[in-house]
Structure 1
């Protein structure tokens, strides 16, 4: 009877030889497997500040040109949005906010604010100051910028560059 178990064992060995050989898996491709990258959620824009010194500057640059009646400084990117003009014969400095029909202009500087009465003209709202008005000095010496506001228009946040004081000096003589 010992033959049966030996025959069974031999049959198992023969059957095991019929099983196909399993090779190792094919090598991974040469390209690296992409790993997902976590991107942080975008941070929301901060709310507008109530402090005008934090407001974004109005795009543009100052340009000065001498004039027969005095000097003229314009601010803007193409056509000027703000003009300071010396009118020596009238002993006046005119501040014009282009394209605005307002009867008052608010000027904000680092040393104070003032509301100026304005007349609506063909080029916009125009306020007139005497050349010795300290507001003109405050605009020129404001810490980096000053603001011109008019009802119904976005505020202009303009740099306090030398062109402002140059117009004033033209009128002061």
Structure 2
């Protein structure tokens, strides 16, 4: 009995001692041979770098370059978007007397005007202006789709058949025109 007690005390230490063994030695194998390096071939000279392909979804495309400009008078409130004040691509205009908002896209489109926001897409009837190449959709100031444009996450798109999609930032000038028309 006396012999069993010291062994019972030493058993956990013997188990720990067995776990202190290092990894098994590796057998040396043949040294790997390096793969042959390809010979670089000079790229053909190009006059201009190719443009990056357009993203398939409108949300992934960049907004058109430009700024919103707002102005107001007694008859109307207007927000214009374009690279310069003279080169307007999109106009959102409120006619206060009849409480109507016109979305005016530069260029003669056909059929409906589709507005895409982070809330979804809305299609409105549109007409081509006779005097200048413009596509116009007119809505009542109370139309809730106007709020979707004003509060879209970062940007929205304006599309009409026959025209390239126009993606513009959703800046406060848009909400200002809508509120001026409702107020």
For normalisation by structure 1, the TM-score amounts to 0.71
Q: 2:112 aligns with which of 104, 117, 125?
A: 104
Q: 2:155 aligns with which of 135, 142, 145?
A: 145
Query: Corresponding residue for 1:155?
Result: 165
Task: Flag as ranges the 4+ runs of structure 1 deviating above 3 A.
Answer: 44-47
Query: Corresponding residue for 2:95?
Result: 87
For normalisation by structure 2, the TM-score amounts to 0.67
Deviations 1:129-162 (A, max 9, x none): 1111111111111000000011111111100000
Query: Corresponding residue for 1:75?
Result: 81
The answer on 1:135 being equivalent to 2:145 is yes
Q: Where do 5+ consecutive residues of structure 1 fail to align?
A: 1-37
For 2:182 and 2:55, locate their aligned partners in 1 and report how far apart those are by CA, in whole Å. Answer: 37
1:163 counterpart SS class = helix
CA contact (8 A) 2:109 2:163 kept: no
Q: Where do 5+ consecutive residues of structure 2 fail to align?
A: 1-39, 44-49
Query: Corresponding residue for 1:166?
Result: 176
Q: CA RMSD in A?
A: 2.2
For 2:61 and 2:161, locate their aligned partners in 1 and report how far apart those are by CA, in whole Å. Answer: 17
CA contact (8 A) 1:103 1:125 kept: no
Deviations 1:80-108 (A, max 9, x none): 11000000112200000012232311100
Aligned residues between the structures: 135
The answer on 1:114 being equivalent to 2:118 is no
